[in-house]
Structure 1
Amino acid sequence: MHFVTYAPPPPLGRFVSLLWYYAAPELPDLLERVLPTGSMSLLINLAEDELRSYDGDDPARCRRLGGVAVCGAHAEHFTIDTAEQRLIVGAEFAPGGAFVFFGPETEALGGEHVSLDALWGREAGLVRERVLEAPTPDAKLRALGAALAARLDRSREGDPAVAFALAAFADPRRAYTVGDVTGQLGMPPKRFIRSFTEQVGLTPKRYCRVRRFQQALTSIERGERVSWAGVAAACGYYDQAHFIHDFRAFAGLTPTEYTARRRERNHVPLGG
């Protein structure tokens, strides 16, 4: 396995949190469940000019996309073909960061996978060609970063209220609620929810639920013996039962099943 990451500096780094290259020729050919993160990403399959996604875990319900695709902000798990991870490059957008690249389409992309050519036209194929032509993993990441920087539209930086809310929701010192944020902003809740959803692709309530779920995964990934009651309390769940219910809603698995079956964080093989 060869995994290379690059965190771009500003101004691109304000909107793209990570660029990554992954090569693993020995991966088994099976389906894999991907858990929601609440953020958007861009994927480029370097091995073949196609990406596939599945509704639920049924291989008969396959959606075939071009070799460059956008994964919108999800609040549900979805399924991918593990074979397509054998040689792939990706960009993880910062929460709300995709808006400067996709504008009003960001909300419509929520919960969806879309070929990039449907959004950028012929340029999508040119991005893949430039990344393919780059000779090394580091050069491929630089090529992708340059392509994204060229598309960065600073006039779309969006509502400052959304940036304030995202920073508040990310504050580890306090579990801010949507009501806390709108109260501090002095902003009508409906207007805030509308603006947040347009820029992030999820409603603020759903975004906060996914973020709390991801905090639980962080606790699990520390590798220590897990106390589910302790994880529930640390992540702000009312009790262990609510935590398990929410976890199953996002992962399609109980926390115990996830720890036993995961291949890596957010990825769970479905067979093999």
Structure 2
Amino acid sequence: MFVDTGMPPHGDYTKAFPKTPSLLPYIHSYVSIISAVEDTREQYITRFFPSFMTQFVFDFYGSLNEVIEEGSIQLDIDKGTYVKSGIGTWMDFFQKESLSSKRLVKSFKVTLYPHVLYEVFGISPFEIRNEDLSINDIWGKYEGELLFEELESMPTGDGMIEVFERYFMKQLSKKYCFQKNISNYLMGGHDYPSLKLLSQECGYSERWIQKQYLEVFGESFKHIHNNARFIKTLRMMNSAVLRGESHLKFVSIAYECGYFDQTHFIKEFKKFTGLTPSYYFHTFRDKIPLSWLW
């Protein structure tokens, strides 16, 4: 549940990618933060937006941050582990006020591709979508506790990556396999403009594909498709910010990304972010380097 930022929110920060080539289809990236916070004020950090990814988060001290979901549901980040499925709602991330003059920070976040829970751990996101889960719930209590202890003992981000990849490789050797070979279609299915076209391409019925989407990703084809379309628009807008552009033609973005019209685009963008595209680009843009996807 930690900010995958373009700059460290709490000090020493490392973003890295899998060191073991065979893990590239499963692990998107790592983020580690090992430092100390001397600022005791309560302050807003950033807003998370939905994505496809699943995240395993390890917090080794806790009591520093909280997450508020769509302005109402509060979650304190305590010492322990968290599992977050990427398709959901937007969330705001805060640093909590503290009387302590200095607080230690150590966290490790692993971002996994959306099929990993199902293919590697044999768990459908659909079954756990409304659950608050720890790593032990996914990995098993014995292995989960050993993994946490070894990660906690590592003094560097690279050390934590090596530990995690060793445990993940062991789990991967026992991985669950798709009963039918359509995993590539499922992973790229959101690129198809409709479920009907995907069905025609892969040769399976629409009803069967829909069932597979719910089992593998925990959401319908339509929800996945809409989420992918949103991510595409967000990347286009963020790229424009990085290029230093001060104006965007939202009509062009809407049509390029497959929306019916600009009104449809604005409505769906607000659903995923809590913000209009114009407000995000012109006013919230100073936060964009801190607003990475879940």
The residue aligned with 2:72 is 58
- Cα distance, 1:163 vs structure 2: 2.3
Q: 1:11 aligns with which of 19, 22, 25?
A: 22
The number of residue pairs the alignment matches comes to 263
Distance 1:73 1:108, change over 3 A: farther
- TM-score when scaled to structure 1? 0.82
Q: Distance in 1 between matches of 2:270 and 2:63?
A: 34
Alignment-derived partner of residue 167 in structure 1? 188
Evaluate the alpha carbon distance shift between residue 141 and residue 216 of structure 1 in structure 2; reply closer, same or farther with a 3 A threshold.
same
How far is the alpha carbon of 1:106 from its aligned partner? 2.6
**Which string of whole-angstrom CA distances, capped at 9 and with x for unpartnered residues, describes residues 153-212 of structure 1?**
554132422322323435xxxx54222111112212111111122111221211110111
Match of 1:38 among 36, 44, 52: 52
2:223 pairs with 1:210: no
CA distance in 2 between partners of 1:75 and 1:21 (Å): 24
Normalised TM-score (structure 2) = 0.77
Of 137, 145, 148, the residue aligned with 1:118 is 137
- The separation in 2 between residues aligned to 1:251 and 1:42, in whole angstroms, is 22
Distance in 1, matches of 2:290 and 2:198, equals 28
Q: Distance in 2 between matches of 1:142 and 1:70?
A: 20
35-44 vs 153-162, which moves further: 153-162
- Against the structure 1 CA distance between its residues 100 and 187, is the aligned structure 2 distance closer, same or farther, given a 3 Å change threshold? closer
5 Å-filtered alignment, 1:1-272, equals 1=8, 2-23=13-34, 25=36, 29-30=42-43, 32-48=46-62, 53-58=67-72, 61-62=74-75, 67-82=80-95, 87-110=106-129, 112-119=131-138, 120-158=140-178, 159-169=180-190, 175-222=192-239, 223=241, 224=245, 225-259=247-281, 260-261=283-284, 263-264=287-288, 267=291
**Shift in CA distance, 30/177, structure 1 to aligned 2, threshold 3 Å:** farther
Judged with a 3 Å threshold, the aligned counterparts in structure 2 of structure 1 residues 85 and 149 are, in CA distance, closer, same or farther, namely farther
Q: What's the CA shift for 1:82?
A: 4.2
Q: 1:8 to 1:73 in 2, by over 3 A?
A: same
Shift of the 13–133 alpha-carbon distance from structure 1 to 2, 3 Å rule, reads: same
Classify the secondary structure of the residue corresponding to 1:229.
Answer: helix
**Cα-Cα RMSD:** 3.0
Deviates more, 1:153-162 or 1:235-244: 153-162
Question: Relative to structure 1, is the Cα distance of residues 30 and 58 closer, same or farther in structure 2, using a 3 angstrom cutoff?
Answer: farther
Give CA deviations for 1:34-61 in whole Å, capped at 9, x if unaligned: 11002211111133389854443236x4
> Helix, strand or coil for the counterpart of 1:3?
strand
Query: Which one-letter code corresponds to 1:220 in the other structure?
Result: M
> For residues 168 and 24 of structure 1, what CA distance do their matches in structure 2 show?
41
Contact 1:34 1:266 in 2 (8 A): no
> Radius of gyration: which is bigger?
2
Q: Quote the Cα distance in structure 1 between the aligned partners of 2:26 and 2:185.
A: 15
**Structure 2 CA distance for aligned equivalents of residues 241 and 135 of structure 1:** 50
2:184 maps to amino acid: A
SS of residue paired to 1:17: strand
Change (3 A) 1:121 1:37: same
Query: How far 1:213 moved relative to its partner?
Result: 0.3
Comparing 201-210 and 221-230, the one that deviates more: 221-230
Q: CA deviation at 1:241?
A: 0.9
The percent of aligned pairs where both chains have the same amino acid is 16
